[in-house]
Structure 1
């Protein structure tokens, strides 16, 4: 069955939650130690995470969960056109020019000036196109994947395709599917026998949230969303050697804002705030992410408790504790099928373009003019 058009799965004009997988081509290695060559690519995990953090500060896209594995990266993202609508034309211009500065004479400076911002703001037609791109998941993935491929090919001293093709996307249509998918993403290293628990699984969203609860902070990789005054840029270019400018640029990349942030400060908060009206965009104003909206109706402690229990018991026949079973039942999940659903996710949703309860998948199929979604009948066994 051919993959559906992206326009059927998500739209930059509508809030959508999407499960995204981007896999390396053939024997290309993304991160970790390549068993065939013995080369250690572990350092890539951190600069891939930092690239995600960087883009989370510029795009109207929330990062809900992620895991960086040996040959693929796995993300759950939510685009936020409602947050984008809150941004001024100037906000849109500077965010875009931070991600795509373009070719300029002072390329070694590679920072947008006030004049660059004003020029783009005056071009209303182009600005309208750019505004839509900032809430487009396809453009977010393009801004993430292309630099990774170029940098990896440079390190490997080769050319050609690094990714096997366009990213795989699955629309998540309800909270039930979102909880199961989030657990599946966070348990990637445990299932791959790279770690024995989420507490020992770096470069996953679960690990970041656990460390943040301990007070762990990191140097922020977020963009400094301030342009350089044009006069200052001209003066700097005239009086500063190019070599020094490039050194300053490299140093600034490590921490563009000079600030520290909670280790999970760039991720969307996990618990939904029941006191907040659903129509409120909850725009984030500190420059680390697009919004402060959560995505699950359970606390972080409850989520981590269930995650650790699922990691510990794997796909054995252990009985879910009563408290956790009650939480799952409230979300419409059959507790007796929980471990099977998380540990054998691909058997249920591996070939589906949609994730959720059977009735939610049916409603989404009708939205796109189809009779059903692949995997709909098998998913019904796990949900009540």
Structure 2
């Protein structure tokens, strides 16, 4: 039985989520179709630009992404603080950037006086739009509808482009967030498409490395052409594990790079001889065993169903929504040996 989306995505439980969407049948999202010789590589840019455009409209941040030949991965964060701070004008302006909106809403922006009935209609619309601006479901709907429409036009065909609704996993703590981001960023390496993260095209880690080399921090806003929606930068790494207040990804980027370099070489059979004996700092801080970490880097998506985190936290979220069972107990306990992880 399919689980209701509201039970899979709950910002009160965690703001971090891993989402994945896959093409239907033999359809190509990106890459080269060896049967027809047609190349779809340009579609990778469609997706990266679209998720960054939408992130600037929605109160949603992009932590990690990887665009593959027939599917894509995202690690997203719902920015609940930004969502709470939106004014009525902000809500209308953001929503009407993507949709036509409503005549009453446009009149409100123009400063027209509204009747009592019109104000009631506007209040209802604002409540609905405000909720949607913090919704991963609406974010993904906007991504997938446009990509499907453009792909079908390009392929001169009709019908479903995506396999179904997107899959999601709630990431309840630092271990889950770190393991999932690593899994996403290493997708091309694990698939044998790239030899290193530097060569992993259309991944967030490659983008971050390139920005570092160019001394062009992610915080710098980007634009396509005048009139286009601003591209929102990737969510920044803002500190080590244990900080009381986090506004970004709760690790140092240098530590993340060290861990992903070590992990990337470890999961390539031809690179095992080059693995340093010293464990990366983040593994020591989080108390994660080497074997458990490497297995997670390869199998994270299959280790869990819709929730990942400490086993106690997974059970609590299931119980909150009426569930009694969750997959991944052994893997969770391996990633949380001390059970000292805190919620993110």
> Within 2, Cα distance between the matches of 1:161 and 1:128?
31
**Partner in structure 1 of residue 27 of structure 2:** 28
Find the partner of 2:314 among 354, 357, 361: 361
TM-superposed deviation, 1:221: 3.9
Runs of 4+ aligned structure 1 residues displaced above 6 Å come to 273-276, 317-320
Higher mean displacement: 366-375 or 122-131 = 366-375
> Within 1, Cα distance between the matches of 2:178 and 2:16?
12
> Within 1, Cα distance between the matches of 2:22 and 2:236?
27
Task: Find out whether 1:267 has 2:234 as its counterpart.
Answer: yes
Task: Find out whether 1:312 has 2:265 as its counterpart.
Answer: yes
Find the partner of 1:334 among 272, 277, 289: 289
Q: Any idea what SS the aligned residue of 1:57 has?
A: helix
> Within 2, Cα distance between the matches of 1:32 and 1:116?
46
Q: In the TM superposition, what whole-angstrom CA distance separates every residue of 1:89-123 from its partner, at most 9, and x where no partner exists?
A: 1111111111113699xxxxxxxx97574479951
Contact 2:311/2:333 (8 A) holds in 1? yes
What are the ranges of 5 or more consecutive residues in structure 2 without an aligned counterpart? 338-344
**Partner in structure 1 of residue 83 of structure 2:** 84
> Within 2, Cα distance between the matches of 1:32 and 1:216?
30
Find the partner of 1:322 among 273, 278, 285: 278
> Within 1, Cα distance between the matches of 2:127 and 2:185?
36
TM-superposed deviation, 1:379: 3.2
Contact 2:288/2:334 (8 A) holds in 1? no
Contact 1:220/1:256 (8 A) holds in 2? no
Contact 1:13/1:135 (8 A) holds in 2? no
Structure 1 residues 169 and 346, CA gap change in structure 2 (3 angstroms): closer
**Partner in structure 1 of residue 199 of structure 2:** 200
TM-superposed deviation, 1:86: 0.8
Q: Any idea what SS the aligned residue of 2:293 has?
A: helix
**Partner in structure 2 of residue 237 of structure 1:** none
TM-superposed deviation, 1:273: 7.3
TM-superposed deviation, 1:381: 3.4
Structure 1 residues 191 and 16, CA gap change in structure 2 (3 angstroms): same
Contact 1:63/1:76 (8 A) holds in 2? yes
Alignment map for 1:64-83 (pairs within 5 Å)? 64-83=63-82
Q: Any idea what SS the aligned residue of 1:75 has?
A: strand
Q: In the TM superposition, what whole-angstrom CA distance separates every residue of 1:281-312 from its partner, at most 9, and x where no partner exists?
A: xxxxxxxxxxxx2122x210110111111112
Q: Any idea what SS the aligned residue of 2:57 has?
A: coil
**Partner in structure 2 of residue 139 of structure 1:** 138
Q: Any idea what SS the aligned residue of 1:380 has?
A: helix
> Within 2, Cα distance between the matches of 1:82 and 1:382?
29
Higher mean displacement: 48-57 or 373-382 = 373-382
Q: In the TM superposition, what whole-angstrom CA distance separates every residue of 1:204-262 from its partner, at most 9, and x where no partner exists?
A: 1101111111126598247xxxxxxxxxxxxxxxxxxxxxxxxxxxx545x556xxx8x
**Partner in structure 1 of residue 341 of structure 2:** none
Give me the CA root mean square deviation.
2.9
Q: In the TM superposition, what whole-angstrom CA distance separates every residue of 1:133-184 from its partner, at most 9, and x where no partner exists?
A: 0001101111111001000000000000000110001111111011010000
Task: Find out whether 1:220 has 2:222 as its counterpart.
Answer: yes
Give the TM-score of the pair, scaled to structure 2: 0.84
> Within 1, Cα distance between the matches of 2:261 and 2:282?
15
Structure 1 residues 15 and 331, CA gap change in structure 2 (3 angstroms): same
Higher mean displacement: 354-363 or 27-36 = 354-363
Q: In the TM superposition, what whole-angstrom CA distance separates every residue of 1:47-92 from its partner, at most 9, and x where no partner exists?
A: 2111111011110111111111100110011112321111111111
